[in-house]
Amino acid sequence: MALLKTRIVAPSLMLQTSFRALRRPNLSHALLSLSRTISSTSPAAHPRSPHTLVDWRTMAPQDISKYLRQTHDKVFEHNKAWAAEKCSKDPEFFAHLSAGQNPEYLWIGCSDSRIPAEQITGLEAGDVFVHRNIANLVCNTDLNAMSVITYAVEHLKVKHIVVCGHYGCGGVKAAMTPKDMGILNPWLRNIRDVYRLHEKELDAIADEETRYNRLVELNVMEQCRNVIKSASVQKSYAENKFPIVHGWVFGFHDGLLKDLNLDFEKVLADIQKIYNLTES
Amino acid sequence: MALLKTRIVAPSLMLQTSFRALRRPNLSHALLSLSRTISSTSPAAHPRSPHTLVDWRTMAPQDISKYLRQTHDKVFEHNKAWAAEKCSKDPEFFAHLSAGQNPEYLWIGCSDSRIPAEQITGLEAGDVFVHRNIANLVCNTDLNAMSVITYAVEHLKVKHIVVCGHYGCGGVKAAMTPKDMGILNPWLRNIRDVYRLHEKELDAIADEETRYNRLVELNVMEQCRNVIKSASVQKSYAENKFPIVHGWVFGFHDGLLKDLNLDFEKVLADIQKIYNLTES
Amino acid sequence: MALLKTRIVAPSLMLQTSFRALRRPNLSHALLSLSRTISSTSPAAHPRSPHTLVDWRTMAPQDISKYLRQTHDKVFEHNKAWAAEKCSKDPEFFAHLSAGQNPEYLWIGCSDSRIPAEQITGLEAGDVFVHRNIANLVCNTDLNAMSVITYAVEHLKVKHIVVCGHYGCGGVKAAMTPKDMGILNPWLRNIRDVYRLHEKELDAIADEETRYNRLVELNVMEQCRNVIKSASVQKSYAENKFPIVHGWVFGFHDGLLKDLNLDFEKVLADIQKIYNLTES
Amino acid sequence: MALLKTRIVAPSLMLQTSFRALRRPNLSHALLSLSRTISSTSPAAHPRSPHTLVDWRTMAPQDISKYLRQTHDKVFEHNKAWAAEKCSKDPEFFAHLSAGQNPEYLWIGCSDSRIPAEQITGLEAGDVFVHRNIANLVCNTDLNAMSVITYAVEHLKVKHIVVCGHYGCGGVKAAMTPKDMGILNPWLRNIRDVYRLHEKELDAIADEETRYNRLVELNVMEQCRNVIKSASVQKSYAENKFPIVHGWVFGFHDGLLKDLNLDFEKVLADIQKIYNLTES
């Protein structure tokens, strides 16, 4: 019983074919105690796993409020422990951090909670400038992403720009579905545009899962192209021989990064036939 | 000498008042060996620290290319080690990860490389949906951020939305400077709009550093307001009593998160005087 | 009966408090003949006006198709007549037009069909560069409007930038209503932001119509401010003493333009306290 | 001498291969009088035409200021005359205008000053909802254009959506040029994307002018496709058999509209293979 975990679960998780609670070994006793109280009265308790799932629709308002308070406070406990540990290992750690950043990587990845960029790459605080959005998209008229790229290239002089997608991407899945997603339509349409560019190749793939995974890869490659279309990347590379743009895909099943081996020099030359902004 | 580190440094780092190399205990021997070769011929070696800084402008093209290759390969080494470690600690870790995500947090933070959201909060893979951009801005006509918020609230049913800023933010600094930043102007103007909303309070602060830090905090509070203006947040809260929106600030000097204690209920009521989208 | 007009009408016109058909003296005989046929079988015929309104929901598919074809062809007839008339009045008219444009005005107005910018201002082909959107908004992160402004100022060297709103604006009305407008929410939120900036003044106005009209004016003034925030306007004015930014409002009841008498020099100075992008 | 016209001219007009003043028969005596004064001292007077061009760089500040005042006041004179004329022809004209709008057309055209939508189509006040931007682009993540389309289709129930381009478009020209256009890059990149989609066809056209004109047409066709990708258009058409989307091109040399004869039913079916948002 010491391992029992409770978690409030959404009644329907669109875009996810299946769902199982993640193991959360770092939940505190305070939360555990609440969990037990709630789970004992909940019909949604999950008998097959050590994690007990609770449907928030059956919770009393004060229990929801309590739960929200506790999950909130938890983060501050974690943060204090992290800061103390960093300090004990390296008393100058935060002095160095305060001094400024000099990252060599720009990471453009998916917002998906299962891809903590720094952890899976082993990069430390200070090493990687990060932009994460739904389906790791780089849209040329999106000032959010374009500001990130411009700042990273022109001011931080990053050496690498990584666009990292992942198999099993909910955003890519949604874009393969004939469905009105409301305000999400315009964003997801960027992925449908990728499909259109590679319609023949994709339509020739009979197996849906394989086609879906291929779209994930092609989406990464197209977003790399979009990065390369920007004036800042083209100009910096002409002058400095960096940044290099990379396309990677993360797999949940083994935790490994796959390099799509984008031939940067070749793609750049290809793109500059139409998108040359270097005036050379 | 075993601790000697080399790092390619940008000749000028705009927006940073000072610069010092970060300690990088995780650099591999392969890179170290390159570093030594380069540093021995570099005039930019930094005598005051164990990190040796190299100006890429003095590097031969083949050295730049070699350096880029090695820093790239490094990440894949790290990734393999991380995956192996996760697997050895919990053989089912990646099976759980594949099953889907069920994050309780949406984190809207700065792209700054020194704020790895998951590490400073102790949240695990699967716990936090992440959007990071320059100066943690939520602009209501920015479909990038609005898609993230809508998806997180309507489809993932997150319980908490955190807007996390940080003292020493280069974006906020830039927005206090009379300077044409080109394509970055429109994005940074969002911060100037925050200044305008709080002009009296800010102008009354004589010390520039204090005024700057206060703008960092006010910027977080205003971005929280922008989150609360969205229909998805208002509707979900009316129905479910979540998500709760929080404003936090991270300090590099001590690694601690500061809760700005945004009174969510009060701010929501205040905003709905003008921005009520719930038709109630 | 010669004046009888028929018009397909939408069953519900959201955001319009009342509706009456516009007189259309320029409808052709072809359309008129169709109109008669349709109106004779339609229960929606409007007895109080010479215009007969037809509800498209009661029309047979082939009638809809026929109506669409005829309204389409009409435009081409009009266009030919217009071109012939221009040519007969001035045989060199189109040669001049082909030679290039040199407009002195940039007009930023509402998409509303009742405000044909060139007609109400008496400006000719070649005189005014035009951007029209819902509620004549200038949002600093909107590359559509910002591209128009930049191009007009830097490349066309316009002398005047006019933001022209109008009383009775459906967009402004919608933004005063507690209602989820779906994908229109983010755009209309810009107007709610104007309300927030002037909350005290607006809340003090008891009469709703008067408050609404005042919001129309304040919206124009704020959009003028947004224009002035742009680097291109600030830089051009510092160098050339133009463009000048004007705020106007059009009234349907009398067809007259009202100058809000924006004090350009004063507003510019005011804005540059926070938004100075001229580095001076 | 009564026909003498003066016009302040920009010293360099980028993107325009040639420039000649337009005939302006509607300039008032007040301006004429200023013109004479200025032209008499200006070395830039244009001897070959009745229009006298003045370089503003040679003007005294008070003359610039005077000129700006007069061109401004002019518009108000024109406006008063227009309102009076409308009223005299139809005393109820403005009462009808106040009653609301019921346009059957949405016009998406270029901001170019030489294409006054209402005049060239013969459409009256109340007939056509208008959006104009640089190069008549419809970008799916541009909330400016998407709000216009959504409002026009869902609330105004327009019957026709016209995307109208024009030969000699400066924006299209700029997008064919290897040049850094600063903040205009992202917007113009939409046109380069059109080029990429039709690279083979365009590269096969040897004559630059012909290739350029073909890109103008292909750009219109692609923007029509973008309109058709929107959920509002797809849903309305499924339900109502309208709106119909049209692609037109305007020619300055003859003032005529050319219908590109987009096969709406076919393009819609084609698009819905990938972009179906109707859930049917």
- pLDDT 10s digits, B100-126: 899 999 999 999 999 999 999 999 899
> Please, what is the Cα angle at A271 between A265 and A275, to 5 degrees?
135
* Dihedral angle, C-alpha B55, B57, B62, B66, nearest 10 °: 30
Coil vs helix vs strand at D280? coil
Calculate the dihedral angle through the C-alpha atoms of D12, D13, D18, D21, rounding to the nearest 10 degrees: -90
Residue from the list B143, B183, B186 with its beta carbon closest to the beta carbon of D143: B143
Q: Given an 8 Å threshold on Cβ–Cβ distance, is B78 in contact with A9? A: no
Three-state SS at B43:
coil
Tell me, yes or no, if D87 is annotated catalytic: no
Pick from D63, D31, D21, D58: which is nearest to D43 by CA? Answer: D58
Q: Which domains does chain A have, with CATH numbers?
A: 11-88 (no CATH), 101-275 (3.40.1050.10)
A110 counts as catalytic: yes
Q: How distant is the Cα of C118 from the closest Cα of chain D, in angstroms?
A: 7
Cα dist from D65 to B70, C107, D71, whole Å: 62, 20, 10
User: Which residues of chain A are within 8 Å of residue D137 when distances are taken between CB atoms?
Assistant: none
d(CA A74, CA B227): 23
Q: Which residues pair with B130 in a beta bridge?
A: B107
pLDDT tens, per residue, chain D with 280 residues = 233 344 444 333 333 322 222 223 332 333 333 333 333 333 333 333 334 455 677 788 788 889 999 989 999 999 999 999 999 999 999 999 999 899 999 999 999 999 999 999 999 889 999 999 999 999 999 999 999 999 999 999 999 999 999 999 999 999 999 999 999 999 999 999 999 999 999 999 999 999 999 999 999 999 999 999 999 999 999 999 999 999 999 999 999 999 999 999 999 999 999 999 987 6
Residue type, D10: A
Q: Which of A7, A51, A169, A224 is catalytic?
A: A169
Over residues B143-156, the mean pLDDT reads 97
Distance (Å, whole) CA A21 – CA C107: 56
Q: pLDDT tens per residue, chain C (280 residues)?
A: 233 344 444 333 333 322 222 223 332 333 333 333 333 333 333 333 334 455 677 788 788 889 999 989 999 999 999 999 999 999 999 999 999 899 999 999 999 999 999 999 999 889 999 999 999 999 999 999 999 999 999 999 999 999 999 999 999 999 999 999 999 999 999 999 999 999 999 999 999 999 999 999 999 999 999 999 999 999 999 999 999 999 999 999 999 999 999 999 999 999 999 999 987 6
Q: Which of the following is catalytic: C112, C131, C225, C246? A: C112
**What mean pLDDT, rounded, does chain A reach?**
83
Percentage of chain A exceeding pLDDT 90: 72
Distances in Å between the alpha carbon of C56 and those of A7, C11, C60, C210?
53, 8, 8, 36
Per-residue pLDDT tens over the stretch D237-265: 999 999 999 999 999 999 999 999 999 99
pLDDT for D49 equals 35
Q: What is the DSSP string of C211-252?
A: HHHHHHHHHHHHHHHHHHTSHHHHHHHHHHS-PEEEEEEE-T
- In chain D, what is the straight-line distance between the N-terminal and C-terminal CA atoms, in Å? 69
Pick from C107, B132, C151, B174: nearest CA to D75: C107
C contacts of A183 (beta carbons < 8 Å) = 182-183, 185-186
Among residues B124, B71, C14, the alpha carbon closest in space to that of A102 is found at: B71
Q: Are A114 and B125 in contact (CB under 8 A)?
A: yes
Q: Which chains reach chain C with 3 or more Cβ–Cβ distances below 8 angstroms?
A: A, B, D
Contact D79 C257 (CB under 8 A): yes
| Closest among A102, A164, A109, A95 to A127, alpha carbons compared | A102
What are A68-119's pLDDT values in tens digits?
999 899 999 999 999 999 999 999 999 999 998 999 999 999 999 999 999 9
pLDDT for the residue B54: 59
- Identify which has the larger pLDDT, A44 or D180: D180
Which tokens belong to B118?
């998951």
Cβ contact B130–A127 (<8 Å): no
- Of the listed C51, C110, C131, C225, which one is catalytic? C110
Tokens representing C218? Answer: 């304040």
> Which two three-digit tokens encode residue B36?
């030594």
Task: Please say if the pLDDT value at position A31 is more than 50.
Answer: no
In this complex, do D190 and A139 lie within 8 Å of one another by their Cβ atoms? no
Higher pLDDT among residues C173 and A19, named by residue = C173
Nearest CA distance, D182 vs chain B (angstrom) = 7
Which of D46, D110, D225, D246 is the catalytic position? Answer: D110
* Of residues A141, A143, A182, nearest to C182 (C-beta): A182
What average pLDDT does the structure give for chain B?
A: 83
Which residues of chain C neighbour A186 with C-beta distances below 8 Å? 183
More confident residue, C141 or B42: C141
Q: Which amino acid is at B280?
A: S
Of residues C139, C189, C273, nearest to B275 (C-beta): C189
Contact assignment for B178 to C139 by CB distance below 8 Å? no
Which DSSP helix (H) or strand (E) runs through A269?
Answer: helix A264-275
Other residues' Cβ atoms within 10 Å of the Cβ of residue C236:
19
Q: Is D224 in the active site?
A: no
pLDDT of residue D10: 39
pLDDT band at A279 (very low <50, low <70, confident <90, very high): confident
Rounded to 5 degrees, φ, ψ at B142 are -95, 105
User: Which one of C189, C211, C212, C278 makes the best mutation probe of the B interface by having the most chain B beta carbons within 10 Å?
Assistant: C189
Whether the bond into A61 is cis, omega within 30 of 0: no
pLDDT at D62: 84
Whole-Å CA distances, C6 to B201, C21, D94, D252: 60, 9, 20, 34
Residues D59 and D44: beta-carbon distance below 8 Å: no
- Residue of B46, B51, B102, B246 for testing the chain A interface, max A β-carbons within 10 Å: B102
Taking Cα atoms as reference points, which of C124, C132, C131, C41 lies closest to residue C90?
A: C124
Q: Report how far residue D271's alpha carbon sits from residue D280's, in angstroms, rounded to the nearest whole number.
A: 14
Judged by CB atoms closer than 8 Å, whether chains meet at B143 and A142 is answered as yes
Q: How far apart are CA B192 and CA D25, in angstroms?
A: 45
Report whether C112 belongs to an annotated binding site: yes
pLDDT at C149 (0 to 100): 98
pLDDT of residue C34: 35
Nearest C-alpha in A relative to D227 = A186
Give the pLDDT confidence score for residue D53 in this predicted structure: 52
Position D59 scores a pLDDT of: 80
Does residue C169 carry a catalytic annotation? yes
B137 pLDDT above the threshold of 90: yes
Strands (E), C45-102: 51-55
3-state secondary structure B75-140: HHHHHHHHHHHHHHHCCCHHHHHHCCCCCCEEEEEECCCCCCHHHHHCCCCCCEEEEEECCCCCCC
Between B and D, how many residue pairs show a Cβ–Cβ distance under 8 A?
11
Model ipTM value: 0.84
What is the distance between the alpha carbons of residues B129 and B140, in angstroms, rounded to a whole number?
A: 19
CA distance B78 to D49: 74
Question: Minimal Cα distance from A271: which residue of D?
Answer: D196
Any bridge partners for residue D131, and if so which?
Answer: D108
- pTM of the predicted model, to two decimals? 0.85
- Record the tokens describing residue A32, joined without a space: 């555990």
Question: For position C53, what pLDDT does the model report?
Answer: 52
CA distances from D81 to B226, C121, D75, D127 (A): 45, 9, 10, 22
How would you label B39-49 residue by residue, b for 16+ Cβ within 10 Å and e otherwise?
beebebbbeeb
